[in-house]
């Protein structure tokens, strides 16, 4: 799986992206205002967040049934930016993930350590804590995104990524994507690692040629 997270950017033209992708497997996660455009263009569309209740007094949130009404088929949950800037907790990530899966959505649940936690040798403890709220499910995918590599241009070495992915798979039997400054010039080496099952692409997914190139690299594995 190659998933493009557009974050709070308008992103590329959905129809142009769909034409460029052809038959390549893909996922795009645009901001809420572009979900309908992406669905209508025929893109495999995920939201960037989803609440655990089907409806209620939860200002600023969106539920699984609402996303499904739009034709959205999945959601990213627990991205490091949600944890860092909006106080997302492990418990909340678990509740969001469980509710979305129960409703029939696919989920990409994100885990990862900060630079300080890695330097202190706490990577596995942090990942273990974050994974403890998740259970295997046929529609669940984990994204390992070391926080120190998100939007920084820094990327985990293939060996570091493989080590983390291998640990995650020892705790939960689901596919694991790598996220953290993935781009065309490093995708092949990262995706060649045996425990890396795809990528969660940030900035590079805003460029049609770059995103399509990463999808081509993945499809040729």
pLDDT at 221: 81
pLDDT at 203: 93
pLDDT at 115: 87
Query: How far is 104 from 63, CA to CA, in rounded Å?
Result: 12
Q: SS in 3 state form for 80-128?
A: HHHHHHHCCCHHHHHHHHHHHHHHCCEEEEEECCCHHHHHCCCHHHHHH
pLDDT at 51: 98
Torsion on CA atoms 63, 69, 74, 79, rounded to nearest 10: -40
Query: How far is 17 from 2, CA to CA, in rounded Å?
Result: 14
Q: Is 7 exposed, middle or buried (0-12, 13-18, 19+ CB in 10 A)?
A: middle
**How many domains is the chain partitioned into structurally?**
1
Residues labelled as active-site residues: 79, 145
Do 142 and 177 meet the contact criterion of CB atoms below 8 Å apart?
yes
pLDDT at 76: 98
Write out the E strands in the chain. 2-5, 27-29, 46-47, 74-77, 106-111, 140-144, 176-179, 199-201
Kindly state the DSSP code that residue 193 receives in the 8-state scheme. Answer: S
pLDDT at 77: 98
Residue with tokens 């120190």: 148
Q: What is the CATH number of the domain that holds 172?
A: 3.20.20.70
Residue 16 lies in domain: 2-219
What is the chain's pLDDT, residue by residue, as a tens digit (221 residues)? 999 999 999 999 999 999 999 999 999 999 999 999 999 999 999 999 999 999 999 999 999 999 999 999 999 999 999 999 999 999 999 999 999 999 999 999 999 998 889 889 999 999 999 999 999 999 999 999 998 776 666 778 899 999 999 999 999 999 999 998 899 999 999 999 999 999 999 999 999 999 999 999 999 98
């Amino acid at each position: 799986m190659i998933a493009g997270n557009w974050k709070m950017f308008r992103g590329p033209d959905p129809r142009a992206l769909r034409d460029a992708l052809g038959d390549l497997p893909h996922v795009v996660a645009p901001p809420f205002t572009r979900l309908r455009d992406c669905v209508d263009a025929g893109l495999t569309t995920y939201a960037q967040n989803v609440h655990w209740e089907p409806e209620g007094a939860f200002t600023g949130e969106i539920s699984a049934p609402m996303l499904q009404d739009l034709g959205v088929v999945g959601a990213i949950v627990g991205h490091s930016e949600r944890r860092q800037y909006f106080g997302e907790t492990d418990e909340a990530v678990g509740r969001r993930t469980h509710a979305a899966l129960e409703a029939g959505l696919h989920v990409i649940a994100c885990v990862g350590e900060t630079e300080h936690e890695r330097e202190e040798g706490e990577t596995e403890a942090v990942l273990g804590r974050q994974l403890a709220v998740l259970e295997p499910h046929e529609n669940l995918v984990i994204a390992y995104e070391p926080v120190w590599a998100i939007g920084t241009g820094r990327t985990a070495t293939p060996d570091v990524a493989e080590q983390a992915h291998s640990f995650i798979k020892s705790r939960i039997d689901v596919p694991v994507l790598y996220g953290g400054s993935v781009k065309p010039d490093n995708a092949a080496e990262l995706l060649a690692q045996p425990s890396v099952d795809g990528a969660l692409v940030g900035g590079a997914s805003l460029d049609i040629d770059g995103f399509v190139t990463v999808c081509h690299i993945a499809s040729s594995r």
